[in-house]
Structure 1
Amino acid sequence: MSTADSVVLLTGAASGIGAATARAFADDGWTVYATDIDSEFPADIRERCRCLELDVTDDEQIQAVVDRIIAETGRLNCLVNNAGYGVAGPVEDVSSDDVREQFDVLVHGPHRLAQAALPEMREHGGRIITLSSVLGHTASPGLGAYSAGKAAVESLTDALRIEVAGADDIHVSLVEPAWVDTGFADSALENLGDEARTPTYDRTYDALETGWVLTGGPLATTPEAVAETVLSAATDAPPKARYPVGAFATFVRWTHWLPARLQDPIHRGFGRASAFLGRWL
């Protein structure tokens, strides 16, 4: 896909993976519309991109942003669904309201944006890229709600890819990192409640707070590595359906094919071992 005069709409672009991805597209010559619910963008993003406020749970705001992009540039070549956050905690303990709000961002947000972008993309072709996670295939104790959201957006994206394949020259891809060195873990820990913790899950909480279940520890990749993968999904001819980020993400993704009697001890053991190591490293 040629990047000359190409336009990308990117959500969650004020920090982390989103900011790195905005820089990668700008370096490649794209016109970048960087959006976030938080309007405080890094200085270099403000200088190099067109920064807009966007809440992906707001239908009217989404349509207004897409309409503005079309009015200003005449096209929308690529949509990157990156906005998201994690609700952490055992399934029994997490609030259903918190899970519902997370789903509204992780699942309904990309759905709304695809609906807004597709009519324009039929005119010129285009790509829709959604940031998912290997946890959409292989759930982790303490991250069941987040894994469920990513599993849902994986299925939604798979269906969309099949539905739009053909004459309209629209392509749909998933980018699937494992852990990434961003503020994701800090945000999830801030919202991890101290009240109403079921004692049965003490080890799960320990793995979240002390271990590598949220951070990935030394296994985490960089936002820049994810950004380069997103750019590949936007420019490869033809693009792949899925882009795992790094060898470890590929490994975690394929453990999904193991029987549960093998998968379950691996996940429990990782949390306990990383909590132990986290106290000493």
Structure 2
Amino acid sequence: MTNDSYALAANPLLDASRRFEQSTGIAFRDKTLLQRALTHRSYVNESRVFLQADNERLEFLGDAVIDFVIGEHLYHRFPEMREGNLTNLRAALVREETLADFAREIHLGDFLQLGRGESDSGGRERPAILCAVFEAVVGALFLDQGVQAAKEFIFPLVEPVLPDLVEAAAAKDAKSRLQEWSQSEFRETPRYYTVDEFGPDHDKTFVVKVCIGESAWGIGDGHSKQQASQAAAAQALEYIDLHAPSGTAPAPQLDIPASVGHEPDLA
């Protein structure tokens, strides 16, 4: 065994940081920054040999860097997108589940230093822990090499998921957009009614229509009333965009069944 091999075996942090650099192709100038980013507080609490700060301060910094980098990227990437959709899209990209997915994609859990109890209880796959270590690595990279290096680390992970998230962000905003249009054109708030529901309890599908005044403007389905009402609003917006890009559209003639109930759903 070489001297380097002995050193790696004796110092798990050194070994983890070396493996991270080999896996990602990123060479840190200050290795202690990377080692700290990969250190969960449970490891510090249990360690009796290598005393090192945990990654929570770097996580705090990385969270801010990610917000800025992604916000700037979306601003330039989608020059025609409205502020509300940009906000929804950024929120989808920086949420815990998405950042945890990015961490899994680059196998960050394999390099993370956890206490034995946390490791044995599945900490390496816990979304909150994976999100935190991803943020910490971004924070460390920003301190070590600047914002451009952080961008080059983040963007290859962001771009493949953007198309689906753009579609989801637009759908999420459909109800608020329809409400703005309806109140502007008719001084009416859209109402949503369940017209059908089917399937087993664990996998039920709901069908919802959206009405403005006495007319139905759209219908949609989904595995929750909220999802179905978003789909109904999106269909109504498609009709409006087609027939009245600026101005009032005639109500569509939709063949929609009667509601299950007579009162609007809180969907």
Higher percent of residues as helix: 2
- TM-score, normalised to structure 2, is 0.26
TM-score w.r.t. the length of structure 1 is: 0.25
Q: Does 1 or 2 have the higher relative contact order (CA < 8 Å, sep 6+)?
A: 1
Is the radius of gyration larger for structure 1 or structure 2? Answer: 2
